Amino acid sequence: MSDKKMMKVTLTRSMSGRIKAHQACVRGLGLRRMHQTVEVEDTPSTRGMANKVYYMVRVEEA
């Protein structure tokens, strides 16, 4: 296995009608559909993207 810390990010609210920068953050995390869960590396950049759209996503430690 890898020794990198990972986090699970799930899109819980719709992206329609949101600020373009927030939509870009969600896409950058790899999320496309509602209730989709992706596992991304826990880096300062991905953590910042998740924090920016905190009201649309759920973050869990993996």
**pLDDT for 3:** 79
Question: Given 3.40.630.20, 3.30.1390.20, 2.40.100.10, 3.90.550.10, which CATH number is that of 6-61?
Answer: 3.30.1390.20
**Structure confidence by residue, pLDDT tens digits, 1-59:** 567 899 999 999 999 999 999 999 999 999 999 999 999 999 999 999 999 999 999 99
Q: What is the pTM of this model?
A: 0.90
Long-range CB pairs of 45-54 (<8 Å, 24+ gap) are: 46/7, 47/7, 49/25, 50/7, 50/9, 50/25, 52/21, 52/22, 52/25, 53/22, 53/25, 53/26
For the chain, what are the domain ranges? 6-61
